[in-house]
Amino acid sequence: MQKSILIELTKTPKTKPDQNNLGFGHYFSDHMFIMNYSTEKGWYDPRIIPYAPLELEPSTMVFHYGQIIFEGLKAYRTEDGRVLLFRPDKNMERINRSNERLCIPPFDPGFGVEAIKTIVSVDKEWVPDQEGTSLYIRPFIIPTDPYLGVRPSNTYQFIIILCPVGAYYPEGINPVKIYVETRYVRAVKGGVGYAKTPGNYAASLKAQVEANQKGFTQVLWLDGVEKKYVEEVGTMNVFFKIKGEVITPSLEDSILAGITRDSALQLLKTWGVPIRERKISIQEIYDAHSQGTLEEAFGTGTAAVISPIGELSWDGRRISINQGEIGKVSAELYRTITGIQKGVLKDDPGWTVEVK
Ligand SMILES: *Cc1c(COP(=O)(O)O)cnc(C)c1O
């Protein structure tokens, strides 16, 4: 693989958006990273160019068969003005697991981290500094053969775009109401659930819309066969604290291996909190609630970091968790992970990577 990244700077830098109204996913920085793949050349031509529309024929495979993968991570501004990435090596390793499932050729994860560091360095001024803000990084790979027919593409583009985002909880971290989905499923055994691929999101939209209409923030996904075991919550991994023990579903191939999930498990282990990765049924959670032993529930993911669950609704039965308040373990995980990300707490696990 060619290692030197060509950089072409924009001649027309954009005005930066107001940091108080960033929201999520609205604004994009001045540049983007692109690298091509062909069967003959492998991955080639890594370059940073001004952010601009892509020109693709309507027949391009990306528009037809969903052979796409993506990633999501963030760059954070520290109080002393440095820029930190959080475990970017993990995202780049996960790309290869997604690639393998989608028949996309593998790439060098170390070079992927280099690409992220370079593009973030070029657009460093786009990393916002206000409380709760960050620069969301979206790497993705699209198939680019102009061809109609179901087979893996022979050519691809690996692209990285950057998006300054606002605080996920502008009004403070509040527990959410979750609808336990019993009709639709997100992923099935043998499918693509463990890959970060857009099809999983397309499959989840209808349940999400219907849950929102009923007044819930997200859905809790059950397994695709028996609709009995808990898998994920929205686009997050899920944890339950029952009788002092923290339980999260073990990684089946229908569950995405979240990096925040892994970080939470590592922290809990160092704190001496008992953890279990195992199958857990929705019935067991309801039973624990009626016995008074369901202490906390929360989701984990890059966007929100920790999202406490205040209420579940399953088959018309609503339960409130920890009186709808954020639990101690959830709060401590949130404080520690965001503290390490922002350089406020000492990075004992060695998770952050500075962008120079
Ligand atoms: C990205 C994602 C997550 C969270 O992963 P993180 O690495 O923690 O951001 C969880 N579930 C699904 C389905 C996802 O796509």
Q: What is the pLDDT of residue 170?
A: 72
For the chain, what is the mean pLDDT? Answer: 96
> How many angstroms separate the alpha carbon of residue 167 from the centre of ligand 1?
18
- Is the pLDDT confidence value at 139 over 70? yes
Q: How confident is the model at residue 291 (pLDDT cuts 50, 70, 90)?
A: very high
Our mutation pick for probing the ligand 1 site, out of 302, 341, 351, counting the most ligand atoms within 8 A of Cβ, is: 302
Look at domain 176-341 and name its CATH class: alpha beta
Mean pLDDT for 248-275 is: 97
Q: How far are the Cα atoms of 119, 168, 222, 306, 344 from residue 80, in angstroms, in the given order? A: 21, 22, 44, 25, 10
Place of tokens 């997604």: 98
Mean pLDDT for 258-264 is: 98
195-235, pLDDT tens digit by residue? Answer: 999 999 999 999 999 999 999 999 999 999 999 999 999 99
Supply the residue whose CA is at minimum distance from atom 5 of ligand 1: 258
Q: How far are the Cα atoms of 3, 111, 122 from residue 43, in angstroms, in the given order? A: 10, 11, 22
Residue ranges per structural domain of the chain: 6-166, 176-341
> How many angstroms separate the alpha carbon of residue 218 from the centre of ligand 1?
14
- Is the pLDDT confidence value at 2 over 60? no
- Is the pLDDT confidence value at 1 over 70? no
- Is the pLDDT confidence value at 299 over 80? yes
Q: What is the pLDDT of residue 255?
A: 97
Q: Is 260 in the pocket of ligand 1 (CB under 6 A)?
A: yes
Q: What is the pLDDT of residue 148?
A: 97
Our mutation pick for probing the ligand 1 site, out of 74, 185, 235, counting the most ligand atoms within 8 A of Cβ, is: 235
Q: What percent of the chain stands above pLDDT 70?
A: 99
143-164, pLDDT tens digit by residue? Answer: 999 999 999 999 999 999 999 9
Copy the structure tokens of residue 326. 């954020």
> How many angstroms separate the alpha carbon of residue 196 from the centre of ligand 1?
8
171-188, pLDDT tens digit by residue? Answer: 778 899 999 999 999 999
- Is the pLDDT confidence value at 3 over 90? no
CATH of domain 6-166: 3.30.470.10
C-alpha span between 346 and 59 (Å, rounded): 51
More confident position, 292 or 168: 292
Q: What are phi and psi of 311, to 5 degrees?
A: -155, 140
- Judging by beta carbons within 10 Å of its beta carbon (0-12, 13-18, 19+), is residue 109 exposed, middle or buried? middle
Q: What is the pLDDT of residue 167?
A: 84
Are the beta carbons of 333 and 260 closer than 8 angstroms? Answer: no
Q: How far are the Cα atoms of 30, 73, 184, 204, 233 from residue 208, in angstroms, in the given order? A: 32, 23, 10, 6, 11
Q: How far are the Cα atoms of 173, 195, 267, 274 from residue 248, in angstroms, in the given order? A: 21, 19, 14, 11
